[in-house]
Amino acid sequence: MASALPLPSTILVVGSGGREHTLVRCLLASPAKPRVFCAPGNAGIAEDTTCFPVAVDDVPGLVALAQSERAAFVVVGPEIPLSLGLADQLIAARIPVYGPTADGAQLEASKTFTKKILLRHRIPTAAAGFFSEVGAALAYLRTRPVPIVIKADGLAAGKGVVVALTAAEAETAVREMLADGKFGAAGKQILIEDCLTGEETSILVVVSGRDYVILPTSQDHKRVGDGDTGPNTGGMGTYSPAEGVTPALLDRIEREIVRPSVDAIAAEGIAFCGTLFIGIMLTPSGPQVIEYNTRFGDPETQVVLPRLATDLLELLWTAATGRLAGFRLEVKPGHSLCVVVAARGYPDHYAKGDTITLPPSLPAGVTVYHAGTARNAAGQLVTNGGRVLGVTALSPTLREAADAAYAACDAIRCASKYFRRDIGARQLHRR
Ligand code: AMP
Ligand code: GLY
């Protein structure tokens, strides 16, 4: 491991969610004691440090902010600024950045781009066809069994994937995307993919060219309701480690998916620096890639980063400016669990502006990360998004982490609060 340059003293974190609150907290905890600031941030981040009202899609504004505040390093949370070329612009301005350039961000922003790379490099993934015409797509559908998966090519806020159980459902999804423009430009190209079965897991990998460090495992809960029911969300809760991913399985995933993915991306000429967040289906014939994201997961970040004993700043800075090969990641013992407190109605319609009262003190090991929060004109803390808070507990056992996180969730006063009651339950009951 070699960090090419001394650790930076001033850092800009871009984003406004629970992921970014966690990044800010962990960077502030660095022994290097950097100044950390955020754009645009949220009410919780604003309690920890200065937030600047520059939107995540305002690339020139973010570069100008980094320059005027003399940021020596920028850490980018969400995918939108990455796909708009924020990292490219920062590199042009000679500011080191953690987060891929626009070509690397295409791995998340275009499912067609990614699937072609996966197939070209023979990385295990579902067979797929690529279409922009309704007629050709429907003809292909008739050759494939159901269930079948229809995917809009572009970023569709997690909504552009339909797992169709019948041929009629599949046809409707194809027509809605290609003929009716349901997802706008994101759905002008589609993929029709064979349906994989098995348990889903994901792996977060810090990548720097051909070098990488695999972060501790975690398990998300994507559906809104207890028992994995109801619509898909951005994630309702997580825990780490995910014991279902045994050391032997993780070895296999590294051999068959992580190493080949990092090599394939480099071979495609992409100088990738950032998080490769790989969605994986554990099928009966082995792990297969469902998708790549090119950023930290939310709420995976809220359980994975608090478990690092390694200085996060040293890890991200080494990825951006040095050589990651041989970097030794130190992980704290114990288990972490995060319950997402959402606004009732999420992921569909929900109210904003509802007041939140947090408990006056939290037990050791419990942290409330803010996501969709703001201050109203009276200065009160209010809801300002679908996912409002991420309550994380770090404890010796998963049971204690769950009990501590849920006690804190119960102590939060907010009329519209909603959260799943069963985060971690499957791992707890597996024992
Ligand atoms: P994606 O946005 O590609 O991650 O897809 C969203 C969700 O759709 C995934 O988390 C899976 O639950 C499901 N999905 C995507 N692709 C497939 C597939 N080929 N087979 C089965 N389920 C899939
Ligand atoms: N938790 C899933 C995601 O960040 O996309």
State the pLDDT confidence band at 403, using cuts at 50, 70 and 90. Answer: very high
Share of the chain above pLDDT 70, in %: 99
Tell me, yes or no, whether 346 and 418 share the same domain.
yes
Identify whether residues 172 and 214 lie together within a single domain: no
Q: Which residue has the tokens 């009732």?
A: 344
For a substitution probing ligand 1, which of 110, 144, 161, 228 has the most ligand atoms within 8 Å of its CB?
Answer: 161
Q: How confident is the model over 329-354, as pLDDT tens digits?
A: 999 999 999 999 999 999 999 999 99
Are 41 and 98 part of one and the same domain?
yes
Q: Is 35 helix (H, G, I), strand (E, B) or coil?
A: strand
- Which of 116-125, 153-162, 349-358, 397-406 shows the lowest mean pLDDT across its residues? 153-162
What does the alpha-carbon distance between residue 164 and residue 77 come to, in Å, rounded to a whole number?
32
**Which atom of ligand 2 lies at the shortest distance from residue 300's CA?**
1
CA of 290 to the centre of ligand 1 (A): 6
Question: 174-218 pLDDT, tens per residue?
Answer: 999 999 988 888 888 999 999 999 999 999 999 999 999 999 999
Mean pLDDT for all residues in the chain: 96
CATH number, position 299: 3.30.470.20
The H or E element containing residue 128 is: strand 128-131
Q: Pick from 320, 353, 377: which residue ends a domain?
A: 320
Q: How many Å lie between the centroid of ligand 2 and the Cα of residue 158? A: 9
Task: Examine the domain organization and report whether 282 and 244 are in the same domain.
Answer: yes
> For residue range 88-139, what is the model confidence (pLDDT) as tens digits?
999 999 999 999 999 999 999 999 999 999 999 999 999 999 999 999 999 9
Q: Whose CA is nearest to atom 9 of ligand 1?
A: 290
pLDDT at 155 over 90: no
Does 430 score more than 80 pLDDT? no
Considering the domain architecture, whether residues 342 and 293 belong to the same structural domain is answered as: no
SS3 48: helix
Considering only CA atoms, give the Rg of the chain. 21
Does some domain include residue 48? yes
Distance CA 211, CA 227 (A): 38
Torsion sign (Cα): 42, 43, 44, 46: positive
* 257 and 309 belong to one structural domain: yes
Please give all residues whose beta carbon lies within 6 A of any atom in ligand 2, as ranges: 220, 234-235, 293, 297-298, 300
Q: Is residue 330 part of a domain?
A: no
CATH code at position 179: 3.30.1490.20
Which pLDDT tens digit goes with each residue over 371-398?
999 999 999 999 999 999 999 999 999 9
Same domain? 298 vs 213? yes
**Predicted local distance difference test score (pLDDT) of residue 416:** 96
Nearest ligand for residue 126 CA: 1
Closest residue by CA, ligand 2 atom 3? 297
Q: Whose CA is nearest to atom 19 of ligand 1?
A: 195
Q: Residue 431's pLDDT is what?
A: 56
Does residue 220's CB lie within 6 angstroms of at least one atom of ligand 1? no
Q: What is the CATH number of the domain that holds 33?
A: 3.40.50.20
Question: What backbone phi and psi angles, to 5 degrees, belong to 406?
Answer: -70, -35
Residue 5: the pLDDT is 76
Whether residue 295 lies inside any domain: the answer is yes
In sequence order, which ranges of 69-147 are alpha helices (DSSP H)? 79-83, 86-92, 102-109, 111-120, 134-141
Give the integer Cα–Cα distance in Å for 184 and 281.
Answer: 28
Q: Which atom of ligand 2 is nearest to the CA of 297?
A: 4
Answer with the one of 320, 346, 369 that is the final residue of a domain: 320
Same domain assignment for residues 307 and 380: no
Please give the tally of structural domains in the chain. Answer: 4
282 lines ligand 1 (CB under 6 A): no
Confidence of residue 3 (pLDDT cuts 50, 70, 90): low
User: What percent of the chain shows pLDDT beyond 90?
Assistant: 94
Name 361's Cβ contacts closer than 8 Å, sequence gap at least 6: none
Taking only the tens place, the pLDDT of each residue in 230-281 is 988 999 999 999 999 999 999 999 999 999 999 999 999 999 999 999 999 9
- Residue of the nearest CA to atom 4 in ligand 2? 297
Whether the per-residue pLDDT at 2 is higher than 70: the answer is: no
Query: Both tokens of residue 279?
Result: 């969605």
Where does 305-386 have alpha helices with state H? 312-321
Range of the domain at 148: 133-188
Cα of 202 to ligand 1 centre, how many Å?
A: 12
Q: Are residues 201 and 316 in the same domain?
A: yes
Question: Quick one: 147 and 174 in the same domain?
Answer: yes
CA distances from 172 to 140, 150, 195 (A): 14, 10, 17
- Of the residues 188, 221, 254, which one is the last residue of a structural domain? 188
- Say how many Å lie between the CA of residue 420 and the centre of ligand 2: 16
Q: Is the CB of 290 under 6 A from ligand 1?
A: yes
- Same domain for 275 and 214: yes
Query: Is the confidence at residue 157, as pLDDT, over 80?
Result: no
